Amino acid sequence: MTSTVPTRTTSGAPAADRDLRRERQAWGSRRARRRIATVLLTIAGPLAILLVWEALSRSGAIDSRFWPAPTSLIPAAVELWREDDLLGDIRISLLRILGGFALGAIPAIAIGLAMGLSWPIRTLLMPVATAIYALPKIALLPLMIIAFGIGETSKLAIVALSIFFLVALNTMAGVLAIDQSYRDVARNFGASPLATFWAVALPGALPSIFTGLRLALGFALVVIVGTEFLSARQGGLGDLIWQSWQILAIRDMFVGLIIVGVLGWLLTLALDLVERVVIPWKPGSE
């Protein structure tokens, strides 16, 4: 959001100074009000859903055995935390997501840049990339288990694989969308291909790379929960949700679901923060 602070430097008259001060104050309070409104609205959405849910469950309008009131989930969460190592499950899932994410995204960015910059590489990899991109990645879990065993490696691999093409294709699109004139400028100043890469292709593709990463985060979450469903008793939030469902511990299941949701939200916020640091020049990121 770009806004300008009203400034006036020429006038020395006290009245004008007062006006200016008032103007600045008005501007400042408009901004503060906007910020408060943002926070309130952000909270209002989820809160409204929880309230309706609570009311429906308590009034008996919905079956509270399967739709337990949100407040009744709090003791369940506390118990899970104390007795069943809820924190451990969160940590396991988080490490799988972050590890798989790094493992997939870093080479994907490199390959995506190469695909964007060189048409032979692009033409060579495009059919494979589009085919695998369209495949539901969870269906590849058996193959990952054959290749990497039933331990952590196959879980990292499935997350990495599921986001790889998404990030690669977005990165490629980002490079291809860079205005030709930017490359012309670099060439006109005698930039080597390598210098052009660092000075133009990489920074120019960054916004698209982050679009890819944001989508990938969602995919990683989906795939890891699905994978944990299918890998019984190896921990993680997916395991918690699935095991709770199996023994009809509905409250525990909901705790798991809500934590997965909150985790996704927090990870997206973290990524936004990283983006703001890496792309300070993006309009609207100040």
Using CB under 8 A, which of 9, 181, 194, 233 touches another protein? Answer: 181
Q: Where are the alpha helices (DSSP H) in the chain?
A: 14-59, 70-83, 86-117, 119-134, 141-148, 152-176, 180-188, 193-196, 202-230, 237-246, 250-278
Judged by CB under 8 A, which stretch of 22-30, 67-75, 102-110, 275-283 contacts another protein? 275-283
Number of other CB atoms surrounding residue 31 within 10 Å:
13
| Coil, helix or strand at residue 38 | helix
Place of tokens 């209002």: 44
Instruction: Decide if residue 283 touches another protein (CB under 8 A).
Output: yes
CB closer to another protein out of 67 and 182: 182
Using CB under 8 A, which of 40, 189, 193, 266 touches another protein? Answer: 189
Instruction: Decide if residue 98 touches another protein (CB under 8 A).
Output: no
Distance of alpha carbon 191 from its chain centroid, rounded?
35
Q: Vertex 107, ends 225 and 200: CA angle to 5°?
A: 125
CB closer to another protein out of 133 and 182: 182
CB closer to another protein out of 21 and 31: 31
**Would residue 199 be called left, alpha or beta, if left means φ above 0 and alpha means ψ between -120 and 50 degrees?**
alpha
Instruction: Decide if residue 175 touches another protein (CB under 8 A).
Output: no
Distance of alpha carbon 173 from its chain centroid, rounded?
19
Using CB under 8 A, which of 12, 45, 120, 280 touches another protein? Answer: 280
Using CB under 8 A, which of 70, 107, 203, 218 touches another protein? Answer: 203
List contacts with another protein (CB under 8 A): 2, 179, 181-182, 184-191, 195, 199-200, 203-204, 206, 279-281, 283
